[in-house]
Amino acid sequence: MPTTGLARRLRAALLAALLALGAAFAPGMAAAPARITAPLPTPRPAAWRTPISINGRENGLRLAPRAEVLEDRGGALDLAQVARAPGWRAHPESVFSFGLSHSTWWARVGVRNASADPQAVVFDLDSPNQDFVNWFALRPDGRLALESRSGDRTPFASRLLDKRSLTLPYTLAPHETLQLYLRFASHDGLYEVMSLNLWGARPFARHSDSESLLLNLYHGGLLALALFNLLLFASTRERSLGWYVLYLCAILLNSFCFHGFDFQHFWPQAPDLHNRLIGFSASFGFAAGGLFLLSYLRLKERLSPVVWRLVAALIGLNLAGALIGLLDYYMLAAVCATLFGIALLLLVYGLTVRLLWRGVAEARYAAAAFSFLLLGIIVYYLEGMGALSTNGWGIWAVLTGSALQMLLLAFGLANSMNALKAQALQAERRARAAQQALAGELGQLVEQRTAALETANRRLTELAITDELTAVFNRRHFNHVCAAMLGQERRADPLALCIFDLDNFKGYNDNYGHPAGDDVLRKVAACVREELRRSGDSLFRLGGEEFGILFTAATAPLAWQFIEQLRLALLQLDLPHAANPAGVVSATFGIAWWRPSGAAPTPNQLYAAADQQLYLAKAAGRNRVVLLAL
């Protein structure tokens, strides 16, 4: 989340914002609003009376601890009044930190060129962001040697040096003593933390170039990381990547604007736009970071609804702070970023540690990333409070922590995507194995169903050609088989058709009942079928008690002999039939025998011939066999 641009602001405003938010900026406040600032030490003699000796080779000599400060509550004092005004106080701190205040503040310090040569020096506030800074260089006799107006609320062209930081270049004559006065004013009551340093001209140029190079490397790295992940997002449509790119862009915008690059290079005549972007990007960076972690850590799935709503509410408040910054309420935007941004950062960090304790893989990278960032912030604050000496490199600890944070989050995203890819591959393998198993099961099921269907089809076919009572072929099948056998070309074997029916069977049904008659029909059919042992012989029920037999016989006598055997076999069943002269069930047979020597008869002709022989057999007394050779 944004740190580089906000860190200085937080150090000065954190406590002050909590106290002043409801009082100093309430509606209807007095014309001279309340201010919040630390108590000042006891007055001491003016610093310009004991000037600091320099030789022009200074490498960031701190002047703030040797300066004096004066509060101008109404902001109406001019330089002459300030020079004679009582109330100047010593300022032993290493930086100017006026916090939240609607007063105008003055500072003064004296320097003396101890060498016999002219010395080109640069006074540097080490900050690009104070709203209004007026520089006044006075000689010991009170004459004004140089005046400059600067600040990030004035056009960039008003600066004497084309540098991001607020500076005053000056060339000290041999043994010259200079009294330097600075007037600080704020647009809306928020003062930045400033460190007044003295540099030799050449050391300052090297320092400024080195600082810009490192910042450009940092910004270039963020930009390259953002573009790379933007391409990944365009390819994968992974939502976490999109939020990560937005977070990167917010951090990049905040750092780029807070360090003054936008004001120096892009819109030097638009100081208000520069300040709006700083106010916007600070809170927006917190919000974007929260949205990224919501997606990356899947907090909505892993947190209770109350905690998730709290995170979402803090994100919403930071978005509101970003809107306030765009409207150029800079101080109020800084307060929102201080209160809601830090609250969101600490809450999300605590939740990340909790998820790490629960073994969530993504939390390892997130916790490490934000630990580096917090470590950099702690180093920066310890340096600002004087508890840690880093020779001015505390700000680079923040930038280093931020860069490591971004890299670790990128690694975390890559690891998460690899894990998702591995899970997808594993799921695909399981799906393929399940598909293969299902295909095997389906194959077996298809085979089983196909076999069952074939069995059912055979059964249906059999039912279609089989007489339901006797289980022999029916009349429909007889017509088909007879036509097929007679229609065979080059047929060599003679064909015989025998039609028979049971003698006096109506009397049997009348005497014994139809169920008994049905039983006789079944037994007769079974007996005849038992005698038909050749594959080409077929038995048909033609209707009622009438049956037909299609068979082959080399000669007519053999055909008659075969049927005679069937007649005798029926008599041997010894089925009682009181209404039949034979006393048992008997049958009468008519045969039409055809040798394939001429034109083949039609099925109807063959049937009519066999039926005629049956009629003749019945006329001759029944229970006999009559044959006709065609």
Whole-model pTM over 0.85: no
Token pair, residue 593, equals 């025998």
Would the pLDDT of 171 be above 90? yes
Rounded mean pLDDT, 121-140: 93
601 vs 414, higher pLDDT: 601
Extended strands (E) in 331-490: none
Identity of the residue numbered 294: L
CA angle, residues 423, 424, 425, in degrees to nearest 5: 90
Among 114, 136, 138, CA closest to 56: 114
Query: Does the 52-202 domain belong in CATH 1.10.10.1100?
Result: no
Q: How many helices (H) and strands (E) does the chain have?
A: 17, 16
Least confident of 3-12, 198-207, 582-591: 3-12
Provide mean pLDDT across the span 492-518. 92
Residue with tokens 């029909």: 521
Residue 448 has pLDDT above 90, yes or no: no
| Residue the block writes with tokens 């009582």 | 86
Q: What are the boundaries of each domain within the chain?
A: 52-202, 208-426, 475-629
CA-closest candidate to residue 629, choices 565, 568, 558: 558
pLDDT band at 418 (very low <50, low <70, confident <90, very high): confident
Sheet containing 197-200: order of strands: 59-62, 197-200, 119-124, 167-172
| 470 φ/ψ angles, rounded to the nearest 5 degrees | -105, -10
Interval 422-439 mean pLDDT: 78
**Measured between alpha carbons, how far is 208 from 411 in angstroms, rounded to an integer?**
33
What is the model's pLDDT at position 392? Answer: 57
Q: Which residue from 76, 36, 196 is spatially nearest to 130, judged by alpha carbons?
A: 196
What phi and psi values does residue 496 have, to the nearest 5 degrees? -125, 140
Confidence (pLDDT) at 33: 30
Find, among 139, 194, 204, 140, the residue nearest to 169 by Cα: 204
Indicate the pLDDT class of residue 383, thresholds 50, 70 and 90: low
**Residue 445 — very low, low, confident or very high, per pLDDT cuts 50/70/90?**
confident
- Identify the residue with better confidence: 217 or 439: 217
Cα atoms in the 13 Å half-sphere on the side-chain side of 79:
17
pLDDT confidence of residue 173:
93
Q: What is the mean pLDDT of residues 130-140?
A: 94
For 397, the enclosing helix (H) or strand (E) is helix 394-465
Closest CA relative to residue 186, chosen from 126, 104, 108:
104
The token pair at 595 is 């040798």
Q: What is the largest CA-CA distance in the chain?
A: 171
Would you list the DSSP string of 33-82?
-----PPP----S-GGGSPEEE-S--EEEE-GGGEEEEEESSS---HHHH
Q: Is 451 left (phi over 0), alpha (psi -120 to 50) or beta?
A: alpha
38 — pLDDT class (breaks 50, 70, 90): very low
pLDDT at 385 over 80: no
Q: Specify the pLDDT at position 381.
A: 67
Q: Mean of the pLDDT values across residues 188-198? A: 89
Q: Which residue has the tokens 């008994």?
A: 516
Residue 27, CB half-sphere, CA atoms under 13 Å: how many? 0
* Confidence class for position 389, pLDDT limits 50, 70, 90: low
Q: Which residue has the higher pLDDT, 555 or 426?
A: 555
Which residues have a Cβ under 8 Å from the Cβ of 303 and sit 6 or more positions away?
Answer: 311, 351
Per the model's pLDDT, the better-predicted residue between 48 and 108 turns out to be: 108
Query: Could you tell me the pLDDT band of residue 49, with boundaries at 50, 70 and 90?
Result: low
Q: Give how far the C-alpha of residue 142 lies from the chain's centroid of Cα atoms, to the nearest Å.
A: 70
Neighbours of 230 (CB within 10 A): 17
DSSP character for 158?
Answer: G
**pLDDT value at residue 398:** 78
Q: Which CATH class is domain 475-629?
A: alpha beta
Q: Where is 627: in which H helix or E strand?
A: strand 625-629
Tokens 């109350």 correspond to what residue? 306
For the residues 146-164, what does the mean pLDDT come to? 94
Residue with tokens 């503040």: 105
- With a cut of 80, say whether residue 504 has pLDDT above it: yes
Hunting for tokens 């930086």 — which residue is that?
Answer: 95
Please calculate the CA angle 582-587-591 and round it to the nearest 5 degrees. 140
User: How much is the pLDDT for 384?
Assistant: 57
Residue 387: band (very low, low, confident or very high) from pLDDT cuts 50, 70, 90: low
Q: How confident is the model at residue 193 (pLDDT cuts 50, 70, 90)?
A: confident
The whole-angstrom separation of Cα 10 and Cα 38 is 15
Lookup: tokens for 127: 């900050």
Sequence-ordered list of residues with C-beta below 8 angstroms from that of 618, at least 6 positions apart, any chain: 588
Say yes or no to pLDDT of 612 above 90: yes
Which residues, in sequence order, are bridge partners of residue 100? 190
C-alpha span between 86 and 238 (Å, rounded): 65
- Helices within 327-360 (DSSP H only): 330-336, 342-357
Distance from C-alpha of 261 to C-alpha of 216, rounded to nearest angstrom: 9
Cα 513 from chain centre: 83
Report whether pLDDT(503) > 90. Answer: yes
Q: Which pLDDT score, from 0 to 100, does residue 237 have?
A: 87
H or E, element range at 299 = helix 299-302
State the average pLDDT for the chain: 85
CA–centroid distance for 80 within its chain: 66
Which backbone phi and psi does 509 adopt, to 5 degrees? -65, -35
Would you state the pLDDT for residue 8? 46
Please state the rounded mean pLDDT for residues 193-211. Answer: 91
Residues 271-322 have pLDDT tens digits of: 999 999 999 999 999 999 999 888 888 888 888 899 989 999 999 999 999 9
How far is residue 395's CA from residue 254's CA, in Å, rounded to a whole number? 15
> What is the CATH topology of the domain spanning 208-426?
Rhopdopsin 7-helix transmembrane proteins (1.20.1070)
pLDDT in tens, 65-115: 999 999 999 999 999 999 999 999 998 888 888 888 899 999 999 999 999
Smallest CA-to-CA distance from 506 within 542, 546, 474 is with 546
Strands 495-502 and 538-543, sheet pairing: unpaired
Encoded amino acid at 210, one letter: S
Residue 13 has pLDDT above 60, yes or no: no
pLDDT of residue 46 exceeding 80, the answer is no
Helices (H), 85-238: 201-236
